[in-house]
Chains A and B, each alone.
Chain A
């Protein structure tokens, strides 16, 4: 056991967890890694490309190596950083990316093949034969290289989202974040303090030094208690702010239940969208390493991480450790470990003037040049002024200085700026409203962090006119790093820069030789800085190594772009948790409950659920139901809920003028009490939408749209009203949902309606085709009646307030029993309109014109309207394709929508294409399949036989060109 004394773990309770099936103990407060280290488990994974044994490298979210699969079954989550996985009782973890057991990975053969797997190898090696890439090379590479695997099962957990607004968002609850939050919250500002950790304190938790002569945790506890008492501060633990977006919006993920064995009925994670007026970024810093030969063995980790494990988690990877450093911070680790009873074999310091700060052996002006140990470190080679020694040790802490976490400061393409004095990239141009504080701003001593945090909050709030006083901050250490830069130990052997992507100094040198010198090229050529850690422990080192090779300064070498997310975010939480039936809102028609009770089959029509058909007992195929509904409508009367069609109430003194400019045909001339079919064009002259326009009063119209275009048409109307012609007195509001509208169609329609209207004269003389009126039905219920027909039959649409829709439908069915009243769904609706040759969405697909629909003369020459001028351009006018009807020559033959039309015997290719089939159905009226389509010179080709080609199904069907009106071409039924 390598469990040390002290630490911030609760030893009164023991938790049990498993790693690769073996059970281990741990304590509340542990992470998966700290518990593994306390159980002497150092080997936790295999590397991405070479399958080299890997151990833990860091103590935070920057971890490149310790990626594990957490959980099992559907809850198995691959590529989780074990360093930030909070331990709970029953936690299950497995290592990934190995064939066979972790200790004996068959794919480790890749390590022997490493000369062939250098940077960009897959661009160079697998070029030939070309066909092998997709089938052989890529799958093989993907199998060998990689991370964990998905469970391939649906995610059983619930995810949530939410919106927060604040004066000040403080990102990070280390010393600078805590002092910023305290300063702002005391001033009464609305503050959010978010930290990815489950415990407040940040780096203070990892250090042994005191704050106001007491343990830092005392000060943290005091601040925490005060923050908890301030209602204007929201404290968000386990919350990672992962992206800085426009307008002060920040993305944050709160891990609500990841630390629980089972979230139960609760949510697992919540995605917060935080709108912050000002932000203090107190994200701290990440330690950097110094590449040297074979620096990737388990047991070699960041010195600051080693210190964090010892101080916070009372764990250490080994009993005998060494330190490799270029600054005083490495010595702190040696001192803290000594204080915990760990043996310090040596501190290897690159600085010539280095001296020991405690009772341990120090090698000044020395470097680690190699290491030994197959599945874990056993010795390091130390080159020093007097020669070269092997030093026996089981763990090595490496300290190359600290990189400020500038990521969020750079998310809006701000480039960090190299600071030679600090030997670090500091935040450059930040997103508007952001101030960076503490170690993230290069103010890394506890004293500097506390003060810069408070000052940043004060400055940010002053911007908002909020006066904040600086708090009395505690005394804290303020010691310099005394760093002397060393970016890598020269040598021929492989020295890893990016552990997660297996990128070495040699790979960077190769990229340099191959002229991949700009850092963006270097990144793509070597994959450096990619994947889950996004190079948090590698990027700056790689830039410095490239600078060495090119002879340029680090500042001139530049950086890659920082993009969200800061740490990996699950797609499930980004999706907001809505799946299945709740994936998007559903709109239900007013008669939906009634149709459900009738056993209707429903179909999705955009956001709507509509009754598709109403099966009756004995009907075993949908066609039987649909044919019956069609025939019943043509013989008696059919009833269909058509509420989904868009309805827009248009009022105002200029309503007629307005509609004249929207519709290509005139509407101002429409008489009160009448309805007119209307076409709207797009600016480019193609048809936008069709529908009816009813005039209920001198200054009152009701426009109907197709179901699909209800939204776009309303948007277009509002655009025209607000932007094109703001001088017109026009008032628009949607009434689609306000009215339930039922189509009553068929020769018995008038007879049926006569049974519900309250003394309204339905006679042809009083209420002719295309009439409309306000009236009452069923004993005083206000209603609207329109005599319009989509089916080609004598037909009406009756509208009543939506809450009465279901009752009205039931009443009509009931009262019409003797008239053959039959409810019909969207399938029959489609058949009826195809038989009549009415255009619908299939014909109005955005590529067609009024002329193609045979409605060219509707485009008024007496007035201008949107699209009128462009509809007359040569390219559209010269198009001879026009809507025709299509009948199979063999009556049993199919008509398939989407088939393309060719002259008989013609070669079937693009330049001989003569049109396409837009709509098709089986017509019980005709007794065969029928279709509508656009055909070149169609008007002149009645009776001609053409071929409908459907190459996807190897179909060639002979069709006869006929009128698109399969029933009642003269329209007598409508006007009857």
Chain B
């Protein structure tokens, strides 16, 4: 193991702890533990037999049993593979073994992940999303994911459950993403307080 100490995407000097914030029912937490890798099928290569990768707009958590690995559709024949707790290893190498024959590129540090959870059901989550992303929530239940614009940034939004989403944004723009998310969440909280 290297003795270099990593910092989180939102890290300040010595910023080894992920950021967290709470606004009313909404909890925002930076997640720097996810391993990420892109996987794409070679021309003519059939879909992997071992696992059922999701179709367009789909997100599948835990498709490889017991390994905490999920996948979301990125483009035709291309997926982003997510591995809970796999950030510090060589996740791309792991994916290449799990899904042989395709092209794999490490994406772990390309993205900053923010998990947003509501402890008051889907209402606050959906109110937050309606302030940030142009997604028709009627078709965005658990198991859906999409790439979309958020405050001029390109992000992935994953609907993990009715009351939890994950937002993946460019690591370099993590501070701007955090600002956008926390500002919107704080305003919703304020509006609820004054309603």
Contact = CB atoms under 8 A, between A and B. Distances in A.
A597 B7 CA distance: 14
19 contacts: A162-B130, A165-B136, A190-B138, A582-B179, A586-B176, A587-B176, A588-B172, A590-B172, A593-B11, A593-B13, A607-B173, A728-B43, A729-B43, A737-B110, A737-B171, A800-B4, A802-B171, A803-B6, A807-B4
Contact of A733 (B105, B138, B170, B184): B105
B111 interface: yes
Nearest to A782: B90
Contacts of B2: 776-781, 804
A740 B4 CA distance: 13
Contacts of A811: 4
Given A161-B131, A735-B110, A806 B172 contact: no
A143 to B, nearest CB: 40
B7 A806 contact: yes
- Most chain B CB within 10 A, of A275, A597, A731, A776, is at A731
A97 interface: no
A164 interface: yes
A593 B176 CA distance: 15
B99 interface: no
B103 interface: yes
B38 A733 contact: yes
Contacts, number: 154
A597 B12 CA distance: 9
A781 B4 contact: yes
B164 interface: no
B109 interface: yes
B97 interface: no
A576 to B, nearest CB: 8
Closest 9 CB pairs of A and B: A803-B6, A802-B109, A738-B110, A781-B2, A585-B176, A587-B172, A165-B136, A807-B4, A729-B43
B194 interface: yes
A808 B4 contact: yes
A802 B36 CA distance: 13
Contact of B194 (A164, A190, A266, A651): A266
A561 interface: no
Per DSSP, chain B at the interface is mixed
Contacts of B176: 582, 585-587
B173 A587 contact: yes
Contact of B4 (A273, A738, A778): A778
B71 interface: no
Interface in A567-613: 578, 582, 584-590, 593-594, 596-597, 607-608
Interface string B1-27: 111111111011101000000000000
Contacts of B179: 582
Contacts of B106: 735, 738, 801
Nearest to B104: A651
B3 A778 contact: yes
A807 B6 contact: yes
A265 B43 CA distance: 54
Contacts of A267: 187, 191
Interface of A: 158, 160-165, 190, 256, 264-267, 273, 275, 578, 582, 584-590, 593-594, 596-597, 607-608, 643, 649, 651-653, 727-729, 731, 733-740, 776-782, 800-804, 806-808, 811
B137 A165 contact: yes
A334 B172 CA distance: 69
B7 A803 contact: yes
Nearest to A607: B173
Contacts of A163: 130-131, 133-135
Contacts of A652: 42-43, 103
Interface in B155-192: 170-177, 179, 184, 186-187, 190-191
Contacts of B109: 737-740, 801-803
A142 B156 CA distance: 50
Contacts of B9: 802-803
A584 B152 contact: yes
B103 A585 contact: no
B108 interface: yes
B173 A651 contact: no
A384 B111 CA distance: 81
Given A275-B136, A585-B177, A803-B9, 6 more contacts: A162-B131, A578-B151, A608-B172, A740-B109, A803-B32, A807-B4
Given A190-B138, A593-B13, A804-B6, A266 B191 contact: yes
Contacts of B47: none
B190 A266 contact: yes
A18 B134 CA distance: 42
B118 interface: no
A737 B103 CA distance: 19
Nearest to B148: A163
A588 B12 CA distance: 12
B92 to A, nearest CB: 9
A29 B74 CA distance: 52
A747 B106 CA distance: 33
Contacts of A265: 186, 190
A190 to B, nearest CB: 6
B7 A273 contact: no
B117 interface: no
B192 to A, nearest CB: 10
B105 A649 contact: yes
Nearest to A655: B103
Nearest to B3: A779
B52 interface: no
Contacts of A737: 109-111, 170-172
A594 B131 contact: no
Contacts of B173: 585-588, 607
A778 B134 CA distance: 44
B117 to A, nearest CB: 21
A589 B40 CA distance: 28
Nearest to A249: B134
Interface in B74-106: 78, 87, 90, 103, 105-106
Contacts of B135: 163, 165
A596 B175 contact: no
B153 interface: yes
Contacts of B15: 593
A652 B190 CA distance: 51
Nearest to B175: A588
Nearest to A257: B194
- Most chain B CB within 10 A, of A586, A729, A737, is at A737
Contact of A731 (B44, B103, B108, B191): B103
- Most chain B CB within 10 A, of A273, A582, A736, A802, is at A802
B187 A593 contact: no
A267 B179 CA distance: 16
Contacts of B78: 731, 733
B23 to A, nearest CB: 12
A778 B6 CA distance: 12
Contacts of A653: 42-43
A586 B175 contact: yes
Contacts of A804: 2, 4, 6
A264 B184 CA distance: 15
Contact of B151 (A275, A585, A728): A585
Nearest to A739: B109
B44 to A, nearest CB: 8
Nearest to B110: A738
B99 to A, nearest CB: 13
Interface string B29-40: 000100000101
Contacts of A728: 43
A776 B90 CA distance: 12
Contact of B172 (A589, A597, A651, A735): A589
